[in-house]
Structure 1
Amino acid sequence: MQTILHPANTRGHANHGWLNSYHTFSFGGYSDPSRVHFGVLRVLNDDTVAGGKGFGAHPHDNMEIISIPLSGALEHQDNMGNRGIIRRGDVQVMSAGTGIAHSEKNHNPDQEVKFLQIWVFPNQRGVKPRYDQQTFRPEDRHNQLQQILSPSPDDAGVWVHQDAWFSLGDFDAGFATDYTIKKPGNGVYAFVLEGDVTINGQALHRRDGLGIWDTDSLSIQADNSAQLLLMDVPMSL
């Protein structure tokens, strides 16, 4: 088993006033050659956007882009005609493929929106762009791992062009469980949203990240009330 630990206070940070963003991997003005990606996981940004503010229309291509709101409401619009608002409990995905332009803004003028923006390298280039969002029941991740993303439209959650599975857990203090990695050769990047957990003997705290590979499974224990995101991804680009 191999691991890499990214404590919360080692992340890149950019505060633009309207946008306060923490970068687990190199992004924008933050560049660290040792922290460019974890397997096909390329971007993990922890963003807070001020009321009424947001990102103007901008392009992407050949990337799977996942947004997970933590609080507030995030408004999406793209050049395919999609418009939507996502809130805590929702997950949004875009397959940028041959090219897409979209904008994201805080839907509310008087409160912040907090969300995770995650980019995953696809296993197919030049696919037809698409957009989707789904709502998940928070009670379905109480003391269990709730799958929110997979490689298949026939499986639970939104889907992406990659052999990746994402799961969320909302754990009571003392809860313990195991997670079996979905595909040989995959690793898992664990990101602690709230609280404290111990994974395979490694203590983790709020917004810490831990990458684990060359193993088949993880043991997870909540040291207190905790929320956890697991990203099970191929390690080879």
Structure 2
Amino acid sequence: MASTLDVRRADERFHTQAGWLDSHHSFSFSHHWNPDNTHFGLLLVSNDDVVAPGTGFDTHPHRDMEIVTWVLDGSLVHQDSEGHNGVIYPGLAQRMSAGTGILHSEKNDSWTLTGKPEHADPVHFLQMWVIPDEAGIRPGYEQLDINDELARGGWSTLASGMSQHADQRAIGIRQKHAALHVSRMRPGETLPIASAPFAHLFVARGSVELEGGGPLSTGDAARITRAEGQRLTAGPDGAEVLMWEMDAAIAMK
């Protein structure tokens, strides 16, 4: 069967505006619900969040989910009930496995130093959820700075559970059918999309030209079924792009 491509524009996403939070959702999330837009492949959530200084997500629970966070601007403080804590900044790959259950909070880093905002900068980050390949695992956490690898160009494997990426992945996820790649593409740079049953492409910043899909700008996404290595070319100002490679999909009941 031939490859199919579904382009989703930035302004078509669900939008949550809560004063301290400006969030765009690629899939149904919270009170936003569309039964025809619940996931793609194994990707269940892809949120594009901007959090104001001195604010953030208070402690809340998760269960049986692999959660990857990627900061674009600013920095984000993570704390969880398993004793993990740290500051996530651009170029730091971070994964939290919710497993049997975990509580965590995420706040703009201005919050934590004195209890009062230390600066007026928002934090802009992407948070993506995939279901694990096994329920009821022990909760876990992993992070790694990949800025040096990103500077070399091309795709960097940010997170993966696929065996073929075991030697080059930055961090692991408990999903053997999924991998997340990222590139800070130089102007005019061309890269291939992964050849996979499902490939989800998200333009975090800048612009690209997707073979068979045309121009994509900041916030645009492409959902490719039976991807065949289509080529992606960065625009004149370059681009930061995230690509999920998946060889399975959520089984709908």
Which TM-score applies when normalising by structure 2? 0.87
SS class of match (1:27): coil
Q: Does 198-207 or 32-41 show the bigger shift?
A: 198-207
- How far apart, CA to CA, are the structure 1 residues paired with 2:227 and 2:9? 21
SS in 2 for 1:9: helix
Q: 1:229 is matched with which residue: 238, 242, 248?
A: 242
Tell me the residue number matched to 2:184: 170
Tell me what 1:8 maps to: 10
Match of 2:104 in 1: 102
Alignment-derived partner of residue 150 in structure 2 = 140
Could you tell me whether the CA contact under 8 Å between 1:52 and 1:106 is conserved in 2? yes
Alignment of 1:1-237 (within 5 A): 1-108=3-110, 109=117, 110=119, 111-137=121-147, 140-151=150-161, 154-162=167-175, 163-181=177-195, 186-202=197-213, 203-224=215-236, 225-237=238-250
d(CA) in 1 for partners of 2:25 and 2:246? Answer: 19
Offset at 1:199?
1.8
CA distance in 1, matches of 2:24, 2:193: 27
Contact 1:141 1:168 in 2 (8 A): no
Counterpart CA distance in 2 for 1:173 and 1:155 is: 25
Q: Distance in 2 between matches of 1:220 and 1:149?
A: 21
Name the CA distance, whole Å, in 1 between partners of 2:86 and 2:187.
35
Alpha-carbon distance in structure 2 between the residues aligned to 1:13 and 1:68: 19
Distance 1:141 1:37, change over 3 A: farther
Contiguous gaps of at least 5 residues in structure 1: none
Q: Give the percent of matched residue pairs that are identical in Structure 1 and Structure 2.
A: 36
SS of 1:195's partner is strand
**Offset of 1:78 from its aligned partner?**
0.7
Displacement of 1:96 in angstroms is 0.7
Deviation at 1:216, TM superposition (A): 3.3
**Contact in 1 for aligned 2:54/2:107 (Cα 8 Å):** yes
Amino acid paired to 1:226: A
Q: Which residue type is aligned with residue 146 of structure 1?
A: S
**Equivalent pair of 1:98/1:128 in contact (CA under 8 Å):** yes
Question: How far apart are 1:4 and its partner, in Å?
Answer: 1.4
Contact 1:38 1:235 in 2 (8 A): no
Instruction: Find the aligned partners of 2:139 and 2:128 in 1 and give their Cα distance.
Output: 17
Normalised to the residue count of structure 1, the TM-score between the two structures is 0.93
Question: Alignment RMSD, CA only?
Answer: 1.6
Q: Deviations over 1:53-105 (max 9, x none)?
A: 01111111010001101111100111111111110111210111111111111
Q: Following the alignment from structure 2 to structure 1, what is the Cα–Cα distance between the partners of residues 201 and 91?
A: 19
Q: Are the equivalent residues in 1 in contact too, given 2:25–2:45 (CA < 8 A)? A: yes
Instruction: State the AA in 1 paired with 2:244.
Output: M
Which is further off, 162-171 or 96-105? 162-171
User: Any gaps of 5 or more consecutive residues in structure 2?
Assistant: 111-116
